[in-house]
Structure 1
Amino acid sequence: MILKELGLVLRRPKFKTSEDEISRIIIALMQTAEIVNVASKLKVVEDDPKDNMVIETAYDGNADIIVTGDSHLLALRDFKGIKIITVEQMLACLGEKRLKNAPKKENKS
């Protein structure tokens, strides 16, 4: 369900994503994502009930983070220990981690 919703969202004009790009993204996610059987029925996002499926999937899949651009989800900031962050925040976290793990340059004096 989430991949189907992602396909619909990526078709919005503001994303300027071609059908080929959408297909490649969906295929890549299908090959790498963990499929979660969702059992929970949560009512967390009242303004956009379709967003609840993201929360339910993350919750049932024991996710640590939801990365999204959705304003309703971002307004929550956190759900039962699951951080809800923007793509920019995630990229910043990955950049910090990369810097921490990068080999130190030797001082050549």
Structure 2
Amino acid sequence: RLVDGVRAQTFELCSSATLLAELLDVLSRGKFAARLLQAGLTPQGIVGELCRLAYMAAPQTVPRVVENDADDDHVLACALAGQADLIVSGDRHLLSLGGRYQGIPIVTPAQAVQQIA
């Protein structure tokens, strides 16, 4: 539903080259790739569409915030660089930051759908 909102220009998706590269890596892993193949999708196709739909932020610095997963710091850097109104993630490390990062709410995808709908 969130991607449908981006397609309909209800709201804007902000990402970065680093985040999309990580997504491609994750979606290319066995369990995800098999599910995508069954649905007639490819990791490259999904990431390509997101690249076309998203505002591509270019963070100049990546703060060291998330102790247990430095990759999550890129999400925070992207949100700051893109002046995001909301960080949407199911990642437990990001969600454990207390629901906000520098004033930007951090919510699950389900919470985002409720807020945006």
Shorter-chain TM-score tier? 0.7 to 0.9
Alpha-carbon offset, residue 85 of structure 1? 0.8
TM-score by length of 2: 0.71
TM-score by length of 1: 0.76
Partner-residue secondary structure (3-state), 1:41: coil
- Alpha-carbon distance in structure 1 between the residues aligned to 2:71 and 2:41: 26
Q: Is the 8 A contact 1:11 1:17 kept in 2?
A: no
Q: Which has the higher contact order (CA 8 A, sep 6+)?
A: 2
Structure 2 unaligned regions, length at least 5: 1-17
Match of 1:73 in 2: 94
Match of 1:51 among 52, 55, 72: 72
Structure 1 unaligned regions, length at least 5: 96-109
RMSD, matched Cα = 1.9
Alignment of 1:13-24 (within 5 A): 13=31, 16-18=35-37, 20-24=41-45
Identity value in percent? 34
Match of 1:4 in 2: 21
Partner-residue secondary structure (3-state), 1:83: strand
